[in-house]
Amino acid sequence: MNQAEFLSIVVPFKDKIFRLAKRLLVSTEEAEDATQEMLLKLWKNKEQIQNYKNVEAFSMTMTKNFCLDKLKSKHAQNLKIVHSNYKDENTSLQKQVELNDSIDWVGRIIEDLPQQQKMVIQLRDIEQYDLDEIAEMLEMNNTAVRVTLSRARKSIREQLTNTHSYGVK
């Protein structure tokens, strides 16, 4: 496999690798490092990746495992939360502030979810993967993915409702 073939396979989903790494590691710098590391590993194993029927799922699984290993290390102690990727130019200032506040709350709530729920939410609701692809990436069965996703969404909904109802978390 030459460089052009490799790039045509990997480039379409490199941003997804970064977003998953960012969701798990939180720090942009850590996510960039993880993305670079994953692309390097894919390049070194370019001959073997042709054997995989879904290179994207394989790459996302590698990224997930790499990030979880990184989080387990002592190096992860200095990561901080910074996440907001939603902008709507056509809303009033008050509505924009409310939307940004809600997005911040959802980001904080997602960060507090158990690791598996956090990954399923990221892959399904943010990256828009199918349940079958998520099941393959996380090595779970379809039913377990649906249950995990349902529980994560319910938890987010309940915590967000409590936050907005009482004004204090």
Model confidence at 75: pLDDT above 70:
no
106-150 pLDDT, tens digit each: 888 999 999 999 999 999 988 889 999 999 989 999 999 999 999
Model confidence at 93: pLDDT above 60:
yes
User: Structure pTM?
Assistant: 0.54
In 3D space, the residue among 38, 29, 39, 42 whose CA is nearest the CA of residue 1 turns out to be: 42
53 vs 60: CA distance, rounded Å = 14
Are residues 151 and 127 located together in one domain of the fold? Answer: yes
Are residues 57 and 103 located together in one domain of the fold? Answer: no
What is the domain-level CATH number for residue 7? 1.10.1740.10
96 vs 169: CA distance, rounded Å = 21
164 vs 157: CA distance, rounded Å = 11
